[in-house]
A and B are shown apart, each in its own frame.
Chain A
Amino acid sequence: MNSLRRVLGSNVRQYGMVLALAAIVLFFQYRTDGVLLKPLNVSNLLTQNSYILILAIGMVMVIISRHIDLSVGSVAAFVGAVAAIMMTKWDVPWFLAVVLCLALGALIGAWHGFWVAYVGIPAFIVTLASMLIFRGLTLTVLNGETVADLPKNFEAMGNGFLPEVGPDTGLHNLTMLIGAAVSLLVVWIEFRRRASATRYSFDVAPRPLFLAKVVLEVAVIMYFVYVLAQYRGLPVVAVILFALVGLYTFLMSRTVVGRQIYAVGGNVDAATMSGVRTRRIDFLVLTNMGMLAALAGMVFAARLTAANPKAGQNFELDAIAAAFIGGAAVTGGVGTVVGAIIGGFVMGVLNNGMSLLGVGIDWQQTIKGLVLLAAVAFDVWNKKRTAVGGGAGVEATAEVAPPPPPELEQAVSVSEARSSV
């Protein structure tokens, strides 16, 4: 129990966010008489928020590396417009258009990266300029008009579902199968990590606790796919989104590049003096953001079945808010991909729930603003609470306090907690 408390204690922010999300979900579930978690609505929640969540993944990385990207809304609109023109006016096959547009997004990101990393202009300025530039270019390439009639396959990226396979079971078979596969993967990863910890003879969580955790994880996944399978199954965009979450979580928490991004954000000078090529990291992070903005732009165009000169307005603010609600720090070095996704869902569920209740758009804005402020205020308060008094007196305490006997326990449980979210 002691170890459990320590794990919770060290991840208050992360768990706090999950609990807050759960509380919000339960609140609206109750107030809407169960409409919120109806299969159709859950499906909508995913597709409605998908492009913001895709942006939030890139944005949290940008914020961790102590920058900001204000241009993502404009870039998304621009790339969406270019994709639409490629496919409708130039007859480029949809798949090729997607690949080319991702490359275009990466190129735009690299343009930002060049100015920020190699010239040394703050990202705030560079991307503020791009926000104007690409909004303007969007109007130019679209001639101020909406371009529709996109290929069906392309539109599926925004509002399609995985195909039906197999016998009619009343559920969406493929979705259930994917859920089962992901569950197996989670179980495998959990056991592998436990085995590795045991091999290094670290203390691990007691077996019943460990099993309870795995069962809970599998239950959450299976319930989620079950809900979706009752409607039309997994939306295509959800598959894209979850794949990205998995990929980028892995990248940020387990790879050298991820470590270096946190290092650059935490203390760029120390990172430089430790051999990290910090400019390259800044460049890569912003390039990646450009690519994800391009993807978000295409998903949005696909969902609206048209490219629109006004697309993507305020996307950057939603993505930034998601990252901060999810625990990223303005000063850099702190934040997680999963946190940003949770932050995005907090905003999404608030939007959706309030719309279901018939709350006007005016009040929705106000309430979302207050939630953002409250989340960050909680963070600051929590940091103060845990920072004790500060100064030399506290430093001493680490030395005079008797070391608790299971010395490795905390280390292991923290790393476990981090990898399991």
Chain B
Amino acid sequence: MTDALLEMRSITKEFPGVRALTDVNLAVQRGEIHAICGENGAGKSTLMKVLSGVHPHGSYRGSIVYDGSEVAFRDIRQSEAAGIVIIHQELALIPELSIAENIFLGNENARTGVIDWNATHHRAMGLLARVGLHENPLTPVKHLGIGKQQLVEIAKALGKDVRLLILDEPTAALNDDDSQHLLALLKELQDRGITSIMISHKLNEIEQIADRITILRDGRTIETLDVTRGDVDEDRIIRGMVGRDLEHRFPDHVSHVGEVLLEVEDWTVMHPQDHARTVIDKANLTVRAGEIVGIAGLMGAGRTELARSIFGHSYGSRIEGTLRLEGKALALKSVADAIGAGLAYVSEDRKSLGLNLLDDIKASISSAKLSKVVSGLTVDEHKEVVVAEGYRKSLNIKATSVATNVRKLSGGNQQKVVLSKWMFTDPKVLILDEPTRGIDVGAKFEIYGIIQQLADQGCGVVVISSELPELIGLCDRIYTLAEGRITHEFSRADASQEALMRHMTTTTR
């Protein structure tokens, strides 16, 4: 198999003052699934933007040979005409339009500007059948779940006669079922001769589906691994990505568990709009000082809902049950009450709930407890800088200064800013919702260290995560949650991925 469909040769791409890619080489064989791995900021997305013409020819150095001839794409239109279609991490579908309209958006079945709706629907049905999505093409996209929307994106690509399909983190937002379905579909497309490039953080998926893997680090090609040879596993890929052996993916830690801090009893929460729908059903849990407690649950099990309803009733309606902190009953009516009582919640979605992307680092860190940097009537900006500098150093936030806008930080560093923000509120109990989602391996390790340090300082930590190895590696106890109920409680010693998964999928009534 030496038949290359695509060869990118010594690609160098510079942004003002910064070099994002240095002499990157990528060779993709005809008909293979080629994965690109690398930490956040390694240059994966930039490379794909060079390929698809988002960064036009002339703005980079190096050459791209596609299907035997050198190409110079000036925009996406030209690359799509050549059969290269990129599906971005954030889906580019229009919620109010129908599936069929979305599939042919920008590629309408039209004659002299007038759309032939019958042809559109007919062709849409054919494409939907190819991706295994059994929906009426007239259905508005907003009525579809995220997994099905992803399939519509692929149908849209097929509608453009795609030959090289590029997927940027296609399963990041999908649950396991939808992910498996998508991966199977990619395999199927491969059988029909469509070559794919897949960028992903989920190494198990890559291992499962990819033929070859190219690893990028700091804007350079590190190596290309051949999975079909059979000696590539997750640790091998991680080694290439971080450039060091991660013998222990979790820092060594022994918890010193103290008194009971937080007690949640018979916690019942209804859906915020549909008051008859039970989202959390009589949940009971405790968190002790210095303890790291995990909550495992599939998407839709109510993990985030449980956390947010505890955190000052910021989710749900008709909340019942008792909440005690250090033995005293709490009546929290708002997020401000919860912060005042000593609770903190690091949200799952950094960009929409955790940060104001217009702010700089220092303003972000002080934002949940401004009162601590107020002197008299005013916010003491100098004190704020000192506080932020402290966190920048202790948490190793990589930025030129605390006046750097948080938008410019990588995911891992943004997450450290959010952690700082909540550490600054002096929480007694800190709830972390997917604290390492979308974060590269190196930063994950650091964040685990920070979590353990917080526990050592006597904080009760709750970690919600979809990654079971993360929970098992980090937590002293793990609760499983299924359909809004706590189904089991594991000690660290009893917890295995299989056992956890069993209790995450069955509800004991």
Contact = CB atoms under 8 A, between A and B. Distances in A.
Contacts of A397: 15, 17-18, 20, 41
Contacts of A396: 18, 20, 40-43, 218-219, 410
Contact of B401 (A196, A269, A333, A408): A408
A411 B362 CA distance: 9
Contacts of B13: 393
B287 to A, nearest CB: 20
Contact of B18 (A270, A401, A407): A401
A333 B358 contact: yes
A275 B336 contact: yes
Interface string B370-414: 110010011101110110010000000011111110001111010
Given A202-B382, A277-B336, A271 B370 contact: no
B46 interface: yes
Contact of B400 (A275, A393, A398): A398
A394 B408 contact: yes
Contact of A398 (B369, B371, B404): B404
Q: Which of B16, B356, B402 has the most chain A CB atoms closer than 10 A to its own CB?
A: B356
Interface string A387-420: 0110111111111110110011111101100010
Interface in A251-296: 254-256, 259-260, 262-263, 266-267, 269-277
A29 B401 CA distance: 43
B169 to A, nearest CB: 10
B18 A394 contact: yes
B328 to A, nearest CB: 20
B18 A266 contact: no
Interface string A164-177: 00000000000000
A237 interface: no
B110 to A, nearest CB: 32
A395 B335 contact: no
Contacts of A260: 370
A412 B382 CA distance: 8
A90 interface: no
Nearest to B385: A411
Which residue of A334, A397, A403 has the most chain B CB atoms within 10 A of its CB atom?
A397
A253 to B, nearest CB: 9
B403 A410 contact: yes
Contacts of A394: 15, 18, 20, 408
B428 interface: no
Contact of B385 (A277, A388, A392, A412): A412
B373 to A, nearest CB: 9
B421 interface: yes
Contacts of B370: 256, 259-260
Contacts of A263: 356, 359, 367
B357 interface: yes
A319 B55 CA distance: 40
A412 B421 CA distance: 20
A200 interface: yes
A270 B338 CA distance: 15
A261 B375 CA distance: 19
Interface stretch (B156-164, B273-281, B345-353, B476-484): B345-353
Contact of B358 (A266, A274, A410, A411): A266
B213 interface: no
Given A269-B352, A277-B336, A255 B385 contact: no
B368 A275 contact: yes
Contacts, number: 178
Interface string A314-336: 00000000000000000001100
Nearest to A413: B403
Contacts of A262: 356, 358-359
A186 interface: no
B506 to A, nearest CB: 32
A267 B401 contact: no
B500 interface: no
Given A396-B218, A408-B401, A414-B403, A200 B385 contact: yes
Nearest to A415: B381
Contact of B16 (A270, A388, A403, A409): A388
Contacts of B45: 391-393
A8 interface: no
Contact of A392 (B17, B46, B347, B378): B46
B334 interface: yes
Given A254-B378, A266-B356, A333-B358, A273 B219 contact: no
Contacts of A221: none
A197 interface: yes
A398 B55 CA distance: 20
A308 to B, nearest CB: 40
A395 B46 CA distance: 11
Contacts of B382: 196-197, 199-200, 202, 412, 415
- Chain A interface residue bracket vs B: 35 or more
B15 A393 contact: yes
Contact of A273 (B218, B354, B369, B403): B354
A395 to B, nearest CB: 4
Nearest to A407: B401
B295 interface: no
Interface string B312-351: 1010000000000000000000111011100001010000
B137 to A, nearest CB: 32
B123 interface: no
B363 A259 contact: yes
B21 interface: yes
Nearest to B41: A396
Contact of B46 (A393, A404, A412): A393
A254 B356 contact: no
Nearest to A263: B356
Interface in B32-46: 40-46
A395 B356 contact: no
Contact of B367 (A199, A259, A277): A259
A259 B360 CA distance: 12
B352 A393 contact: no
B168 to A, nearest CB: 9
A407 B44 CA distance: 30
B41 A392 contact: yes
Contacts of A419: 381
B355 interface: yes
A389 B13 CA distance: 10
B284 to A, nearest CB: 25
Contacts of B411: 395
Nearest to A268: B356
Nearest to B370: A256
B20 A255 contact: no
Contacts of A395: 40-41, 408-411
Nearest to A197: B382
Nearest to A278: B335
Given A266-B357, A266-B358, A333-B358, A403 B400 contact: yes
Contacts of B385: 200, 202, 408, 411-412, 415
Nearest to B425: A275
B49 interface: yes
22 contacts: A254-B378, A256-B371, A259-B363, A262-B356, A262-B358, A262-B359, A267-B355, A270-B353, A275-B369, A389-B55, A392-B41, A392-B42, A392-B44, A392-B46, A393-B45, A395-B411, A398-B410, A399-B410, A407-B401, A408-B402, A414-B403, A419-B381
Interface of A: 196-197, 199-200, 202, 250, 254-256, 259-260, 262-263, 266-267, 269-277, 333-334, 388-389, 391-401, 403-404, 407-412, 414-415, 419
Given A275-B335, A398-B404, A411-B401, 18 more contacts: A250-B378, A256-B371, A270-B356, A273-B335, A273-B345, A273-B347, A273-B354, A275-B336, A276-B335, A277-B336, A393-B45, A396-B20, A396-B42, A396-B218, A396-B410, A397-B18, A401-B17, A415-B403
Pairs A-B, 3 closest by C-beta atoms: A396-B41, A393-B46, A393-B20
